[in-house]
């Protein structure tokens, strides 16, 4: 599949490359998010040496690095690198013009050569070199630690680039052969991880894809769910237990604490950093609101936890074909909350382009204490954070615009500061019927492209 998206990230990398005497760059992000593909696209027309760490012995890593160097500099002496310092000095001496050295999966290199960050610092401190270093890794915590104050490489990066999964309109570019409504379904199930999207067969039906990707004992997404739940942790953190609690409807801090029988604050913070979960408060309140709740923000993980995992033992025993119909029947109910989040993301794009009005400072959901009033999206404007836009998203093919508008206008009267000049936005999968001219409407075609 051809490389798509990542225009902003590529621009950042190219600015870094074009800067004179640029110091190292660091690129990091969770597994499967497309970091290596991004770097390969950036380096496609550059003289570049790629080395991927695999937790080999130091001699094994240096031997593999020498082979990669020889592909770019065939005349290098076929003499093994003594150590990392020798490798950097010899490669730097060969670089009479700017040469990119990518050390991918950098934490794997450090696991067997813990002195490497200090060696890199000493190399950089010796003065300018034509060798451009780019460090990359999936162990998010390790890559963040490289940049901390006490780390050997602190203050020595000219570019730090965190790579996230695709947003809805970006994911659509990986599904060009599907109509917008089907793109919405695929994104709702798989989220924005490029590898998962590349696994989806656009010529096959939903059922055929789920049978191949989920309902087989060795199905790739069945195994991915377990891998995501085993995300990087430290002693005392319980990501799997916390994620299961949230998926089971224990969305408040105390409910999660009771479920896991431990203090979950550190784990919650880590999962938010990884964008696996998000913390929500009514948008009219600050982050310190006691009404905060948590939701699984990663679409694939929500699909796995809510629909797939309960059937995993029987899928592994061969009942996948029988379970498939049950999964498909549950998808529409599952995608309702996902569609609301997609809708809010779309409104943020409209706000950036100025289509929602001036000075939009926040967009988020709103609900009352008693839970009787819930609004999918409210946009606030200016320093006063005044509500100026309210929106409702329905995971239905078609909705009656006037009826939904009447219900939404009644809900809007419960906002802390009612604005009689509110603008309204209505969203359905395919059609919003009979909406007044002053109401903004959107569908999957607007969000995922026509």
CB atoms within 10 A of CB 418: 10
Do 279 and 345 fall within a single domain?
A: no
Burial 296-318 (b: 16+ CB within 10 A, else e): bbbbbbbbbbbbbbebbeebeee
**d(Cα 58, Cα 303) in Å, to the nearest integer?**
41
CA dihedral of residues 301, 305, 308, 310 (deg, nearest 10): 160
Q: How many residues does the chain have?
A: 450
**d(Cα 278, Cα 268) in Å, to the nearest integer?**
9
Is 148 strand, coil or helix?
Answer: coil
382, two tokens: 């200016």
**d(Cα 447, Cα 198) in Å, to the nearest integer?**
20
Confidence band of 450 (pLDDT split at 50, 70, 90): low
Do 138 and 195 fall within a single domain?
A: no
Find out whether 326 and 356 touch, Cβ atoms under 8 Å. no
In a domain, 110, yes or no: yes
CATH number of the domain at 34, please: 3.40.50.300
Q: Where are the beta strands (DSSP E) in 75-171?
A: 99-104, 131-137, 159-162
In a domain, 2, yes or no: no
Q: What is the pLDDT of residue 291?
A: 87
Query: How much is the mean pLDDT over the chain?
Result: 93
Confidence band of 423 (pLDDT split at 50, 70, 90): very high
In sequence order, what are the beta bridge partners of 277? 296
Instruction: Name which of 415, 189, 187, 447 is nearest 343 in CA terms.
Output: 447
Q: What is the distance, to the nearest Å, from the Cα of residue 281 to the centroid of all Cα atoms in its chain?
A: 21
* Final residue of a structural domain among 132, 162, 192: 162
Do 238 and 324 fall within a single domain?
A: yes
Confidence band of 388 (pLDDT split at 50, 70, 90): very high
Q: Kindly report, residue by residue over 296-336, the tens digit of the pLDDT.
A: 999 999 999 999 999 999 999 999 999 999 999 999 999 99
123, two tokens: 């190399």
Do 316 and 350 fall within a single domain?
A: no
Do 274 and 392 fall within a single domain?
A: no
In a domain, 89, yes or no: yes
CATH number of the domain at 238, please: 1.10.10
Residue 20 has pLDDT above 80, yes or no: yes
Do 139 and 74 fall within a single domain?
A: yes
What average pLDDT does the segment 211-218 reach? 96
In a domain, 42, yes or no: yes
Is 398 strand, coil or helix?
Answer: strand
CATH number of the domain at 398, please: 3.40.1350
Find out whether 407 and 384 touch, Cβ atoms under 8 Å. no
Confidence band of 139 (pLDDT split at 50, 70, 90): confident
pTM here is 0.92
Domain hosting residue 348, numbered range: 338-448
Is 5 strand, coil or helix?
Answer: coil
* Final residue of a structural domain among 300, 335, 370: 335
What average pLDDT does the segment 13-39 reach? 93
Residue 198 has pLDDT above 80, yes or no: yes
* Final residue of a structural domain among 162, 193, 212: 162
Q: How many domains does the chain have?
A: 3
**d(Cα 72, Cα 17) in Å, to the nearest integer?**
18
Do 224 and 235 fall within a single domain?
A: yes
Q: What is the pLDDT of residue 103?
A: 97
In a domain, 1, yes or no: no
């Amino acid at each position: 599949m051809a490389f798509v998206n990542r225009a902003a990230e590529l621009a950042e990398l190219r600015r870094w490359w074009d800067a004179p005497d640029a110091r190292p760059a660091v690129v990091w992000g969770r597994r499967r998010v497309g970091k290596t593909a991004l770097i390969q696209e950036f380096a496609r027309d550059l003289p570049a040496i790629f080395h991927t760490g695999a937790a080999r012995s130091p001699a094994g890593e240096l031997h593999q690095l020498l082979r990669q160097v020889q592909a770019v500099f065939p005349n290098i002496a076929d003499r093994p690198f003594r150590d990392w310092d020798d490798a950097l000095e010899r490669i730097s001496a060969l670089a009479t013009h700017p040469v990119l050295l990518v050390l991918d999966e950098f934490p794997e290199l450090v696991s067997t050569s813990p002195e490497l960050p200090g060696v890199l610092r000493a190399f950089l401190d010796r003065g300018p070199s034509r060798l451009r270093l780019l460090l990359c890794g999936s162990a998010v915590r390790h890559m963040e630690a490289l940049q901390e104050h006490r780390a050997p490489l602190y203050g020595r990066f000219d570019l730090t680039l965190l790579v996230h999964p695709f947003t809805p309109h970006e994911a659509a570019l990986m599904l060009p052969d599907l109509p917008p409504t089907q793109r919405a379904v695929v994104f709702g199930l798989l989220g924005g991880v490029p590898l998962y999207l590349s696994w989806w067969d656009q010529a096959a039906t939903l059922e055929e894809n789920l049978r191949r990707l989920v309902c087989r004992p060795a199905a790739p997404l069945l195994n991915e769910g377990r891998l995501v739940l085993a995300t990087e942790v430290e002693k005392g953190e319980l990501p799997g237990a916390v994620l299961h609690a949230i998926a089971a409807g224990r969305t408040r801090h105390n409910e999660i604490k009771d479920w896991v029988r431990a203090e979950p604050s550190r784990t919650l913070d880590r999962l938010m950093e990884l964008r696996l979960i998000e913390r929500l408060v009514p948008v009219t309140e600050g982050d310190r609101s006691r009404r905060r709740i948590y939701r699984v923000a990663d679409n694939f993980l929500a699909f796995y936890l809510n629909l797939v995992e309960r059937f995993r033992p029987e899928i592994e025993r061969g009942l996948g074909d029988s379970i498939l119909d049950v999964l498909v029947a549950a998808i529409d109910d599952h995608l309702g909350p996902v569609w609301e989040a997609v809708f809010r993301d779309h409104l943020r794009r409209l706000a950036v382009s100025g289509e929602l009005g001036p000075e939009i400072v926040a967009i988020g959901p709103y609900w009352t204490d008693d839970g009787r009033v819930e609004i999918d999206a409210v946009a606030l404007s200016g320093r006063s954070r005044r509500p100026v836009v309210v929106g409702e998203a329905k995971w239905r093919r078609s909705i009656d615009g006037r009826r939904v508008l009447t219900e939404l206008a009644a809900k809007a009267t419960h906002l802390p500061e009612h604005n009689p000049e509110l603008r309204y936005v209505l969203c359905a999968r395919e059609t919003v019927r009979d909406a007044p001219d002053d109401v903004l409407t959107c569908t999957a075609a607007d969000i995922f492209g026509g």
